[in-house]
Copies of this chain bind each other. A is one copy, B any other.
Amino acid sequence: MPSPDPGRRNERSRRAILAAALELLGETTYAELTVEAIAARAGVGKQTIYRWWRGKGAVILDALSETAATDVALPDTGDLRADLRAVIRATVAEFADPRLSATTRALTIETLSDDALAEQVRDRLLRPQLDAVKARLRAAPEVRPGVDIDQAVELLFGPIYHRWMLRTGPLTESYADGLVELALAALR
């Protein structure tokens, strides 16, 4: 495989590219984001982007992987309702925030367009959080035995995606709480 030697890679350029990508994503639509603009903003040749990434999708995936990857912690206060409320409220807030949801939008589009990237998005960005919630659910005595934990976690996050994408309702704290109640009812 004649891919470039990562040892020779210029760290300064790498950082500049990821930073530029995130900046531009905040200023325009994902569809309007261009590799050319990223290169220009980063003060970098286009080739340097294409040398290390397959396209803009891969760049922003990397950019976001870098910023995330730390907030996987999920509290276990012993009170499942409280813990779930915390995480679901946070998630709902993130989707409600136009700034943050721009990146989610970008990733979702890329997820739908490129199978290879979809895998990476799933594994590197989403999985950690989902796994944390799964672990919490598994440890909870309130959860009825026999419940499929994968489905349980989708019961919590799926509706948020749905409402966010289709804009069928507000993404508020009370919505989050209501969602938790429904889920708890399903799982107990």
Q: Which residues of A contact B (CB under 8 A)?
A: 29-31, 105, 108-109, 111-113, 118-119, 121-122, 126, 130, 147-148, 150-152, 154-155, 157-163, 165-169, 175, 178-179, 182-183, 185-188
Contact = CB atoms under 8 A, between A and B. Distances in A.
A155 B29 CA distance: 29
Q: Which DSSP category, helix, strand, loop or mixed, fits chain A's interface?
A: helix
B159 A155 contact: yes
Q: Nearest 5 CB-CB pairs, A to B?
A: A158-B158, A158-B159, A186-B186, A158-B162, A154-B159
Nearest to A115: B167
B186 A168 contact: no
A122 B154 contact: no
Contacts of A121: 166
